[in-house]
Amino acid sequence: MEDSTGTFFENATISVSMNPSPTFPPNTTDILPCPTAPDTPCETADFQLSDEAMWMIIWIVGMLIFLCLPFCITKSRRDLCWRRIKERQWISDDREDDWYTAAVRRQQEQRRQQMEAEQRHFRTSRTQEDEIREQFLLQCMENYTMSLSRSDIHEMEETNSRAGSIKSFGSLQSLRCSKKIGDESESGIVAIDLEAQIAGSERKEKEKRSDSLTDDEEEQPVLAFAFDDNCQKVYIPLPGQTTMDAEETVGAPSARRMVNSGCAICLCTFDAEEKITWSANPKCPHIFHSDCILHWYLAVGRKVQRRHIRQNPEMSDEEMLTKICDFPINCPCCRQNFCQDIRKLDVSASSSRTQAESESDEEREQPRNEEDSVELGSTPSATARQ
């Protein structure tokens, strides 16, 4: 027993490692033959994915496919997405196709033309055009507008003799007409009394007006009666006479005229502290309220402006601005020229000013020429004397 044990310990070799960490024998289950070299062992490690990681990877891949799928459906869709990406400046491609650049330029040109057309048609609104016309008309009518005072309005009393003459004149006219009608009728037709017919028609009209009015309203005089038989008169300057000329000739008896009090536009009489405007044309005797004639010409200007646009839709902005005040300023009653165009007055004044300046320059040059001729004529005599 001892011999066997002693021989065992004697034959055994004891190896002590200096490494403090213990060594373990390799796991034979992890060692597999390498496919390239079957003799050498190949170590493999265990790698297993959890279910959550697998679903996360599937979700990311699906999102990438969903985002990239529109680029792969059709060519037009790919071009559209690519163009949108370029517009958002995500990427910049210097090399572009010629057809694409031509299409972009054409689209930009169409947008520019559309914006110019919108600005041309809507650059000045109707309110702005009315303001321009109003300033133009106020400048034209400035020297022919005045404010009425109580001394300018005169009430004239109608006498009995005048009423009797009017009545007798009406009866005489009716008698003459009835006599003519009776003479022309060969079959003995009874003569018609025109005076009775006129009186009956006036009575019917008066009853009709009284029925149409309520208790709170008062009957207003008819315009024809107010203008024909009106006892109210106003004293205003003569037609074609400015306010400055009228103020200079206040004491002259022929400086003013007496006319019936009434505006043919609003069909109302003139009152104190109201502004009236008369014509700058000496041949037009009509007068109106300043506000009435101003709004009348504003309506005329709008109508003429619409006509200009309808006749020339492709009108430029400069031409449209010049056409705002290009409308006739005629009297609403007699259709004669009512106001003087300040633009024509400025042109005539400038032309007369240039003509006067040229005449003055010629007059200045004439003495100089005479002096030069005198000096030239005196030199030969001086030399002869010497």
For 169-196, how does the pLDDT look when each residue is reduced to its tens digit (9 = 90+)?
334 343 343 343 344 444 333 334 444 5
Do 306 and 126 contact (CB within 8 A), yes or no? no
Same domain? For 86 and 130 the reply is no
| Domain with 340 in it | 124-157+219-362
Do 140 and 279 belong to one domain? Answer: yes
Record the tokens describing residue 281, joined without a space.
């044309």
On whether both 145 and 86 belong to a single domain, the answer is no
Q: Is residue 82 part of a domain?
A: yes
For residue range 306-319, what is the model confidence (pLDDT) as tens digits?
898 888 888 777 78
Same domain assignment for residues 128 and 271? yes
Of 259, 255, 234, give the one whose Cα is nearest residue 245. 255
Please check whether residues 133 and 266 belong to one and the same domain. yes
Residue 204 lies in a domain: no
CATH code of the domain covering residue 223: 3.30.40.10
Q: What is the DSSP string of 209-251?
A: HHHHS-SS--PPPPHHHHHHS--EEEEEEPTT--HHHHHHTSS
90 lies in the same domain as 129: no
321, part of any domain: yes
Does one domain contain both 227 and 80? Answer: no
Please give the Cα distance from 332 to 321 (Å, whole number). 25
Measured from the Cβ of residue 155, the count of other Cβ atoms closer than 10 Å reads 9
pLDDT tens, position by position, 221-265? 434 334 545 578 888 889 888 888 888 776 665 678 888 888 999
Structure tokens, 344: 């024509």
10-residue stretch averages of pLDDT, the chain, 386 residues long = 48 51 50 55 60 90 83 76 73 60 87 76 74 91 90 69 42 39 40 47 56 46 44 86 80 75 90 92 92 94 90 80 87 89 53 58 61 49 42
Tokens matching residue 74: 């059709």
| Cβ density class 23-35: b for 16+ within 10 Å, e for less | eeeeeeeeeeeee
Global pTM value: 0.45
The CA-to-CA distance between both ends of the chain, in Å, stands at 184
The answer on 224 and 89 residing in a single domain is no
Asked if 312 and 250 sit in the same domain, the reply is yes
Assigned domain for 46 exists: no
Assess if residue 106 is contained within a domain. Answer: no
Give dist(CA 281, CA 283) in Å, integer: 5
- Residue 38 gets which letter from DSSP? T
Pair of tokens at residue 48: 């297993």
Q: Are 195 and 174 in contact (CB under 8 A)?
A: yes
Please check whether residue 384 lies inside any domain of the structure: no
Residue 338 in domain: yes
Domain-embedded: residue 63: yes
Among candidate residues 45, 80, 95, the one where a domain is terminated: 95
Report how many domains make up the chain: 2
Closest by Cα among 321, 295, 293 to 308: 321
